[in-house]
Amino acid sequence: MKHNCLLNAFIVCCLLFSSCTDQTEIKYEDWRNYGGSKEMIRYSTLKEVDTTNVQQLQIAWTYNTGDADTVNHSQIQCNPIMIDGVLYGTSPQMKLFAVDAATGKEKWMYNPFDSLQGNKRSFFVMNNSRGVAYWTDGKEDRRIYYTAGSSIQCIDARTGKLVISFGDSGRVDLHEGLGRDVYDLFVTASSPGIIYKDLLIMGSRVDEGPAAAPGHIRAYDTRTGKQQWIFHTIPHPGELGYDTWEDSIAYKHIGGANTWSGFSLDEKRGMLFAPTGSASWDFYGAKRKGNNLFADCLLALDAATGKRIWHFQHIHHDVWDRDLPTPPALVTVNRDGKQVDAVAQTTKTGFVFLFERETGKPLFLIEEKPVPTNTELKGEKLSPTQPIPSLPKPFVRQTFSEAELNDLVPDSSYQDIKKRLQGYRTGHMYTPPSKQGTVVFPGFDGGAEWGGPAFDPVTGILYVNANEMAWVLTMVDIKNKVPQNETYIDAGKRLYAKNCMSCHGTDRQGSGNFPSLTGIPKKYTEKAFHELVVTGRRMMPAFKQLAEEERKAIAAYLLDIKKEQLKKYVAPPKLVDSFLSMPYSITGYNKFLSKEGYPAIKPPWGTLNAINLNSGELVWKTTLGEYPEFKQKGIQTGTENYGGPVVTAGGVLFIAASRDGKFRAFNKHNGKLLWETELPAPGFATPSIYNLNGKQYIVIACGGGKLGTQSGDAYVAFALPKK
């Protein structure tokens, strides 16, 4: 008996050792891909920096790009990559750079705007960039791909010059190859594509209003730029999912359903994982009735052909802008004593959906549960159920009641937010949009956001940072008929309400991440304003579909051009697409705030969460970020945060992300804060970790710009001091 027990114990130990060896046989010591690896787990096997010495970190080098735009709140959201001792990243003005990864010394910088000529210059949109992709033939051909404006740029990684054999003299226009004319619509990409063999697979960012291009997924030849396959995220006749759209021609008009946050890739299996966003228009679906496949889906595709393998839709008929905000983490979990390759998808709603990787079978029970469907919006038809996973439990609160009101503010302010809450529709995560105002919680920016989670393959723990901010969605009627005897000022107000109010608010005061327009006459000439409207900038889409007279009317209103305002407005002849003519708009992306500007909900407002994917249980939770005025009172609130964490084999989790501009290191086992430092500007980005010449570096982009913070232009690398 004793012999058998010892033998059994020996066998168990061998199995455990074998399991650990299998999980860690891949060395994550470099950062060759966006997110660290194509599995998108943001994990490093480096151990030089650990829980005992992380407090000794110091700045190894700082690289300043020199092109921050403090007036227009430029940002750097880039997670840089490191290839053969060279770090590649992007600047606030969409320049691509290469620096020595050990010193930060610049090797070259490429400006995509400089090489544009003639009419092409006027259609360059200043988008944000979250990273770049690298491809090599294994010999001398080494290329960097990223999107600037509406074009994929192909750059020689050694010289910083366009590879003119790719596409049209080094570029591929994302407007082309979508199957319908979208030249006048906004198409770009904020996240990089992903490389599978000799394919560059791309998603896109499109307008979220009615006039949106479709978000079809495409693959291009890495050498020539020729499109190799396309997956229709809005299915065409005869394709799977077509019958989930009640209007048979919706695919000709409806846009969105785009993969804007990037991809994960299982290279061994040749499986691409693509998270998609909502179909347009975000908040009203009477023009797109049905469940709307493949919007709001996690798609598993054959990376070589684009053929669907499986899918899961996490929101049916989305009217809350609940896009999947990040690529899933490709993980391995322990289920009933067996190692199972899986896919972990975090959501804005605070769920983690866990699927068996090859089949899409849920690893925890997912139930379709009834949700509110009572809507006053004409023609709207909401889904009666939504899928809810049993485990893991939500990592954020999902309802906002009076008991959750912020009690840290003065009583008069508390009474004000209490009264406002009583006037809104609330009480359920899927409460429909309304004219009286609906509390959207978790909010438009999550829950989880585009920074994505990190996963430790040894422990099976997923780390995700989250926002807990309530927003208020208010629908208003829109007049689509052009009145007779309208002046330019009247037309400008009408066109502003139809095209601009949803982002910039009813009184041009700004909303959410969109700036106020009240001071715009001081910032723009009429010519510059027209160019801005045509090209777009960062969060603002292009409005090339507006006729010149329409742009002139909006300019007369926003720029206060006296000579134009009283002139009679003659509406330009236009072909009206009924799918784009919405009876409603929204009053802006409005956060539910107190008079002092604090969230109306009680803390925490930003959190960092550790979830055991083997059991589905929460391991620990802590606040992320701080308000000094509350910290002085011993109150840990957390702040809104953008950008993700990175976890290491040394026991440390690194994250910036918070609005307070600090870079922090936590003990990954218990969430204890080990180290923090002040950055030159907030790091709304995900760190990169790599080994070079036996030394471990941690690099974070410090671009600021969001949440009213100061813009910056620095990449800062940290390392331990020389021994």
> Domain map of the chain by residue range?
192-395, 479-581
In this predicted model, what pLDDT tens digit does every residue of 131-188 receive, in sequence order? 999 999 999 999 999 999 999 999 999 999 999 999 999 999 999 999 999 988 999 9
Which amino acid, one-letter code, is at 666?
F
- The encoded tokens of residue 368 equal 């379709």
The dihedral through the CA atoms of 499, 501, 503, 508 has a sign that is positive
- Report the C-alpha gap between 236 and 385 in whole angstroms: 25
Beta-sheet strands, E only, within 34-186: 43-44, 58-64, 81-83, 86-90, 96-100, 106-110, 133-136, 142-148, 151-156, 171-173
Tell me the CATH architecture of domain 192-395.
Answer: Beta Barrel (2.40)
The hierarchical CATH code for the domain 479-581 is 1.10.760.10
Beta bridge partners of 297: 313
What does residue 618 show for φ and ψ, rounded to 5 degrees? -75, 130
Q: Which helix (H) or strand (E) holds 494?
A: helix 488-499
In this predicted model, what pLDDT tens digit does every residue of 504-551 receive, in sequence order? 877 777 766 677 777 666 667 777 776 777 666 666 676 767 777 788
Burial of 320 per CB tally in 10 Å (0-12, 13-18, 19+): buried
- Report the C-alpha gap between 149 and 129 in whole angstroms: 10
**Is the distance from CB of 676 to CB of 654 less than 8 angstroms?**
no
* pLDDT score recorded for residue 3: 40
- Report the C-alpha gap between 49 and 277 in whole angstroms: 37
* pLDDT score recorded for residue 122: 42
* pLDDT score recorded for residue 565: 63
Nearest partner of 636 among 621, 620, 651, 647, judged by Cα = 621
* pLDDT score recorded for residue 118: 47
In this structure, are strands 646-648 and 86-90 parallel, antiparallel, or unpaired? unpaired
476-491 b/e with 16+ CB inside 10 Å = b?
A: eeeeeeeeeebbbbbb
- Report the C-alpha gap between 511 and 230 in whole angstroms: 35
Q: How many CB atoms lie within 10 A of CB 715?
A: 27
What parts of the chain have a pLDDT lower than 50? 1-24, 118-123
Instruction: Give the pTM.
Output: 0.90
Burial of 576 per CB tally in 10 Å (0-12, 13-18, 19+): exposed
* pLDDT score recorded for residue 11: 35
- 3-state SS, 563-584, equals HHHCCECCCCCCCCCCCCCCCE
**CA 593, 599, 604: angle at the middle one, nearest 5?**
170
Please measure the distance between the N-terminal and C-terminal CA atoms of the chain and give it in whole angstroms: 54
